[in-house]
Amino acid sequence: MGTGTVTTRDGEKLFYKDWGSGPTVVFVHGWPLNADAWEDQMKYVAENGFRGIAHDRRGHGRSTQPWEGYDFDTFADDLNDLLTALDLQDVTLVGHSMGGGELARYVGRHGTDRVSKAVLLSAIPPLMSQSDSNPEGVPAQVFEEIRNGIRKERSQFWKDTAESFLGGNRPGNQATQGNRDAFWLMAMAQSIKAGVDCVTAFERTDFTEDLKKFDVPTLVVHGDDDQIVPFEATGEKTARIVPDATLKVYEGGSHGIAVVPGHKDKFNQDLLAFLRS
């Protein structure tokens, strides 16, 4: 309990934190964050009779930073290594943003033998990129601008990105300076190689077939003002594809639902109700 590391099948070290006792909830963070993004939720579930676990994705936070391996098959296998090493059963998996893609690919590659429920929060599945068949998606030019922003001067890029990520550029928003600072701090703990490669991974990966393999109750939560992962291209479609899905749309919700005051409290309550259902 507390913190530890797991060694992956290819020798990388994944940092994780492990709080509380009871039925297990494993939180999978978004890009460009790390396990610290889940501290509010981990404390909340641990105080309410659950065990919360969150790891830093390879290339992020306190995990090792290899040169290669920033693709969703690798991330899903890393998650499997974590669940296997800790011998976790009847787990609720909670994935935010890119972490929702990691969760989906985990189910696609490893099934749900260890999983009892799933939560997709502001998540990227089924597909982020815009195309004739996915007109609601994000244009290729936007992904290239993100990669170029990281390459050019990532510190300022993360400061700028925090605004749209947290909805800080919207009138009446509740994003705090502390939210912005925390986003920047976590983003700067990600390697620049991971930062750039992850953009390419979540631009190009299609999770449609993974979602079709979900056979556990699934909660889909998305803000209708998500400026990073458009609801119409992702959460709305995911809720139609996953067989046993419940969709909750947060009015005015940004991409940073789990950390911005107001929506954070609502999500914590919805998460706990789903865990107890």
Catalytic center residues: 97, 226, 255
Region of 156 (left: φ > 0; alpha: ψ -120 to 50; beta: rest) is: alpha
| Nearest by Cα to 66 from 76, 80, 55, 78 | 78
DSSP string of 65-134, one letter each residue:
--SS--SHHHHHHHHHHHHHHTT--SEEEEEETHHHHHHHHHHHHH-STTEEEEEEES---S--B-BTTB
Q: What does the alpha-carbon distance between residue 268 and residue 42 come to, in Å, rounded to a whole number? A: 10
